[in-house]
Structure formats: structure tokens, C-alpha cells
Chains A and B, each alone.
Chain A
Amino acid sequence: MGDYLVLIVSSMLINNITLAQYLGICPFIGTSKKMETATGMAGAVVFVMTLAAIITWCIDTYLLKTLGIEFLRTIAFILVIASLVQFVEMFLKKSIPALYAGLGIFLPLITTNCAVMGVCLINIQEEYKFLEALTASISYALGFGLALILFAGVRERVVLGRVPRPLQDTSIGLVTAGMLALAFIGFKGLV
């Protein structure tokens, strides 16, 4: 049990997917201007990332490895993620319209969110067992959501300040993200 706790803390905070592993920066910068879009994106990522990681883990273990065709991993993973996103979108539209209305426009964007693909690849690289992969993926996804929502909160305040013109928008956004990343380094002492 203790091992899993360490895994959760290290995946969520210490090796935070965005602020320490540089994954998913595009949506992190792109959807963090408003709190609403940030929470929407965070929700969609948690949902898709967990599903995608589990499915790609199974495909890698039971299909690619047994057939000895690991060199097709990149193609297989991106196909799985792209079709999964499509499928989730159709499923939500049909059965849970309320959730679809909330996540709708963020779902297609997730196909090219490198955090999703990144987590799938990390799971394989670290040779996680099924339960470990599941725990790590959920923690990574929650870590992304946490970072995104925190960042959106900060950015909403930054807009109110007087920012010099050349620094406006993405530029100050990146510097702010740097500060946040600095704060997350503080978690290194936890484990």
C-alpha cells in the first residue's frame, strides 16, 4: 500500500506531468485564460488520459509484445488515442449530454495533447504492472488538472495587473508557469 502512496505523490506532484516533465504545455497555455475552460479541459484530460493509458497498456502487453511488433507502438498508440477520443465524444453526446456540453469542445483537442500519449509511453517505459499503470495514470491526470486550475487562477489575476506590452499574453504566461514550476520543485522533499 505504501508503494502506491509513493507512486501517487510522485506522479501527481513531484514529477508533475506539465511542470516537471514538459508535457501538455499547449493546452496548459491555451486553455488557462479562464477558469471555466481550464476546469473543462482538466475534466476532459482526467477522463481520456485514464482510459487511454489503460487501453494502450493492454494493447502493448497483450498484442504488441506477444506478437513481437513493438516497433509499431507509436502508430498503434496514436490510432488508439484518436479513435478513443472520437468514441468518447459520440458516447457522451448520446448518453450523458450534460457532461458532453461541459467537455465538448475540448475533446477533439485532446488527440494532439502530448500529455495523453506521453503518459501511455511512460507507463510502458517504466514497466509498470497493470495496477501501477492505472494508479500512475490517474495521478498524472489529476496532477495535470491541478496544475492547470492553479495556473488559470494565477493568470486571471495577472490580467488585472499592468503588464508591459511586449510581455503580454503568452510571454507573461510562460514566465508565470515558470514560477509555478518553481513552487512545484518544493515537493521534491516529500519522498
Chain B
Amino acid sequence: MAKTIGQEFVKGLWEEIPPFRLVLGLCPTLAVTKSVENGIGMGLATTFVLVCANILVSILSGIIPSKIRIACFIIIIATFVTVVELVMQAYTYQLFMELGIFIPLIVVNCIVLGRSEAFASKNGVIPSLADGLGIGIGFTLSLTAISAVRESLGSGTLLGYSIFGPSFEPFSFMVEAPGAFICLGLLLCIMNIIGRK
């Protein structure tokens, strides 16, 4: 367990990058990756919750009785999710409407609870912060990658700009549910091929 802070941070970007390596938090991954903008927004919201929850859990882990720790973690997470929800509603209303119920559903994103339980409750504040930030940014990168594939093929745009020119016929299939599943499955397969070398 002699990992440095830097290593804790970096492992979230490749070694344990969600949702590819840790197959958790699939619902938001599939649901919000219709466009790159939504993907990044969701990623950042989750990162914020992850970092704050990790810090608070690591501070409080000495006080929380182990029998009711899961319930306590969930309340901590829910508090930060409410904060995100209200902030987004106030400043980025458009994005808030697009993401819809998936913002309150960050509460039940297994990545967040998983990190609190598996990492923050056993480590100090600074490593927990690094861990939360690493996993959060890893998650944001994955969402960006998936949404870049889906948006470019499904609507022929990237961040709203047309990239293939007017003659391109978008496969509307990619922005619908089946496209999401198949796209993630194939990306997972590519990750497996790269990871094996």
C-alpha cells in the first residue's frame, strides 16, 4: 500500500478507468452519451460528487459505526448530489433539462458508493481526494470518448459542429438505445485488445 498520491490519481485514468475496467455506473454511461456536451457535463457532475463524498467519508470514517456505514455514505453522497442538482438548475438550465432524472440518479451510481466503501473509508483525506479526482476524470474521459463516437456517427456532428459535411447520412441508430449498448460493447472489446498487449 505504498502508493504515492500521484499513483492514486493516475490509476483512475487507465488501470481502473470506469466504466471500462470497473464495469460500474453503466446506466448514466449509456443514457447521457448522445452528445459530447452531455457526456462532459455528466462526467464533471459525477467527479464533483465523487471528490466531495470521498473527502467527507475519509474524514468521518473514524466516527461512523461500521454497521450503518453504507446508510451514512449514501446520505453523504445524496447531500452532494442535491448540491449539484441545485447548482446545475441555477446556472446550466439547458444541460439540467437534457440530463433529466440522471442527475438525481448519481446517488445510485455504483462508482461513487464503491469508491467510498472500497477506498475513502480506509484511507486518509489526501489519497482519497486524489482517488476521487482520478476516477472522476477517468469517468469523464470515458463518457467523452463514447459520446464522441455516438455523436459523430449518429448525428454527424461533434459538439454541435458538423464534421462530415452535408452529404453524410447519419445513422440515427447510434443515438438510440441499441446503438448505445452495441457501441459500449465494441469499445470494451477494443479496450480488451489493447489491454492484453
Point out residues on B near A: beta carbons under 8 Å: 23-27, 30-31, 70-71, 74-75, 78-79, 81-82, 85-86, 100-101, 104-105, 107-110, 113, 176-182, 184-186, 188-190, 192-193, 196
Which one of A74, A79, A172 contacts B185 once the chains associate, using CB atoms below 8 Å? A172
**A22–B185 contact, CB under 8 A?**
no
**A113–B108 contact, CB under 8 A?**
yes
Residue A105 is within 8 A (CB to CB) of chain B in the complex: no
**B181–A181 contact, CB under 8 A?**
yes
Q: Which residue of A lies closest to B110 (CB)?
A: A112
**A175–B185 contact, CB under 8 A?**
yes
**B104–A121 contact, CB under 8 A?**
yes
Q: A121 vs B81: C-alpha distance in the bound complex, in angstroms?
A: 15
Q: Which are the 3 A-B pairs with shortest beta-carbon distances? A: A174-B185, A178-B181, A178-B182
Residues of B within 8 A of A122 (CB): 101
Which one of B71, B104, B181 contacts A73 once the chains associate, using CB atoms below 8 Å? B104
**B185–A26 contact, CB under 8 A?**
no
Which one of A21, A114, A174 contacts B182 once the chains associate, using CB atoms below 8 Å? A174
Interface centre among B179, B188, B196 (most CB of A within 10 A): B188
Interface centre among A20, A171, A185 (most CB of B within 10 A): A171
Q: A80 vs B31: C-alpha distance in the bound complex, in angstroms?
A: 25
